[in-house]
Amino acid sequence: MKTMRSLAVAAATILLASAPAVAAAAPPPAIPQVAPATPGELLECESLIGFSYDSTRITSATFVPAGTPAGAPDHCRVTGQTNERVGEDGRSYAIGWEMRLPSDWAGRYLYQGNGGIDGAVAPALGNFTGGQERSGLAQGFAIISSDAGHTGAQNGSFGYDGQARLDFGYNTAVTLTPLANALIAEAYGRGPDTSYFAGGSNGGRHTMVAATRLADEYDGFLPVAPGFNLPQAAVAQIAEAQLWNTVATVPGNLNTAITPAERAVVAQGILERCDGLDRLRDGLVQDGERCAKVFDLDRDVPTCEGERDGTCLTAAQKDVLAQVYAGVTTSTGEQIYASFPVDAGITNGDWATWNLFISVALDPLAVGTVFMPYPDPSIMASPLTADIDALEAGIYEAGLSGQSAMEFMTPLGDDTDYDTLRDTGAKMIVIHGASDAVFSADDTARWFEAVDKAYRNKAEDFIRYFPVPGMAHVSGGAATDKVDALGALVDWVEHGIAPDRLIAQARGDNAEAMAAGLAPGAERPLCVYPLVARYTGGDPNSADSFACKPSSGGPNL
């Protein structure tokens, strides 16, 4: 279906190019609505062990009965290795993958982008957030998942091979997309009617990259908490760690830089100033734009007059936190990544993990082995003394792979060109938590605003961004983080129902949401950016009691 529509667009473009010149540019060709997917049945599972594809070795084809894992239907699990080779570093590499093909197929295909720095073939179940109610597999999708071209044992070394860098950045999806379509055709006797690409965190980055490199192959894209500027974010994390170390009572132990009690003091100040901006005090900051204007760190958080005792922040701690919120910079004042929303989610354990642990444990690994032009072990050995200016410059320099990290890890071009996605009728829904401590929702908002400007305020015709107040990285936090975004994307792609808002619920197993006072199942609307939810009266646990309105903005109070 996608390929046929792409050909139609190409033909229309040729006709337009050959027409006589006119005073104004002609609008893009109209694209018919994608036909809904139709069900199909799996042929013989075990026969897929004989599936043949270029540079691919099938390692297993096994029938898996319903309930393995819990909630999964009967399906066939096929595993394989593609592009097996010996790298320039002398190590063996391949793109490892698995594909799960349900016996009762919905006619849909899903590429599952995985998180972290990959290195493992996550079960191809179609799960992207902790708040997802039903997996993609349970909904009848045929799903592929991969290790992005390296194993877990190679996570500390694959950056020494140029091709492995490219596979991690974008080439795995480029390689596996036609393979997945061929395997589906072999399994069901026909190809998919509709194709989707989704993932969270680094998987969200994979999705954003695919939306620029593979837009003519997919009908829908669902990036969650997308780290689409991951090299910038990783360098920024190291820079933040160095700042936090300046206020650590035990140098090198960032947990002593700002304690849980001190973070709670900050959150309390934010909530007192911002919680009621949506006309309901419920432990959530719905209007983040106005909160950034009315919250004052110096005024609203007590400053210690003596020793730190957990009830205040020192002036030095406030200075560090202010730099983190504003976006850390190089020595010349150039912003490395992005600002972060002022949000009460600073109390989340997730916030501490990213800022005070991963920033010195995993980010230096990625920066030192994958994102620098050539691997530099000293960054991993001493991240708290690394030269931030050199790291920031390094992610823009081509090296081992022939491309810089900001080329092979990010969306193609200037990240605002979505002509192919638009012209083929594809759609994208972006989900991002305001309390995400590693990939900033501010960066996603900046990106959407740039895209919207590039398309003359018409980007919502094919891309919609839904921030999630209080949600941590991918899921969790004091938030209503249970939402059927995949279902909303299918409705938009196949039925033309563009989502103006998504209904999200608080999960009873989300301890941080319960601690904030949200009732299990409490609803909030996730509003399409830049609108925010405002309480209009009635049951505070019902989404019907909220309306999506423009931010109230306003000067400092």
Q: Are residues 420 and 448 in the same domain?
A: yes
* Domain identity same for 413 and 396: no
Has residue 328 been placed in a domain? yes
Rounded to whole angstroms, the Cα distance separating 147 from 293 reads 43
> Do residue 382 and residue 271 come from a single domain?
yes
**282 shares a domain with 221:** no
> Is 535 domain-assigned?
no
The answer to whether the CB of 344 falls within 8 A of the CB of 267 is yes
Q: Which residues contact 363 (CB under 8 A, 6 or more apart)?
A: 234, 235, 237, 238, 241, 383
| Spatial contact of 231 and 337, defined as CB atoms under 8 Å apart | no
- Cα 72 to chain centroid distance, Å, stands at 24
Residue 193 and residue 219 in one domain: yes
Residue 444 lies in a domain: yes
- Global pTM exceeds 0.75: yes
Residues 454 and 374 in one domain: no
Asked if the structure places residue 348 within a domain, the reply is yes
61: its two tokens: 């084809």
- Is residue 106 a part of any domain in this protein? yes
C-alpha span between 362 and 377 (Å, rounded): 13
Do residues 283 and 296 share a domain?
yes
Q: Which of 452, 477, 502 is the endpoint of a domain?
A: 502
The DSSP code for 426 is -
Tell me how crowded residue 541 is: count the other CB atoms within 10 A of its CB: 17
In terms of domains, do 217 and 87 share one? yes
Is residue 10 assigned to a domain?
A: no
Phi first, then psi: what are they for 395, rounded to 5°? -75, -10
For residue 367, what are the domain limits?
232-405
Please state, in angstroms and rounded to a whole number, the distance separating the CA atoms of residues 425 and 220: 9
Q: What's the CA gap between 518 and 506, in Å, rounded?
A: 7
Q: Which of 458, 484, 502 is the last residue of a domain?
A: 502
CATH number at residue 88: 3.40.50.1820
pLDDT tens, position by position, for the chain (557 residues)?
Answer: 454 344 333 333 322 233 333 333 344 444 446 778 888 888 899 999 999 999 999 999 999 999 999 999 999 999 999 999 999 999 999 999 999 999 999 999 999 999 999 999 999 999 877 667 789 999 999 999 999 999 999 999 999 999 999 999 999 999 999 999 999 999 999 999 999 999 999 999 999 999 999 999 999 999 999 999 999 999 999 999 999 999 999 999 999 999 999 999 999 999 999 999 999 999 999 999 999 999 999 999 999 999 999 999 999 999 999 999 999 999 999 999 999 999 899 998 899 999 999 999 999 999 999 999 999 999 999 999 999 999 999 999 999 999 999 999 999 988 899 999 999 999 999 999 999 999 999 999 999 999 999 999 999 999 999 999 999 999 999 999 999 999 999 999 999 999 999 999 999 999 999 999 999 999 999 999 999 999 999 999 999 999 999 997 643 33
One domain, residues 198 and 96: yes
The verdict on 248 and 348 lying in the same domain is: yes
Answer whether residue 47 is part of any domain.
yes
- Cis ω for the linkage preceding 302 (within 30 of 0): no
Give me the number of domains the chain comprises: 2
Handedness of CA 367, 93, 206, 358 (dihedral sign): negative
Could you say which of 361, 378, 405 is where a domain stops?
Answer: 405
CB-based contact 295:285 (threshold 8 Å)? no
- 532 in a structural domain: no
427-433 vs 463-468, strand pairing mode: parallel
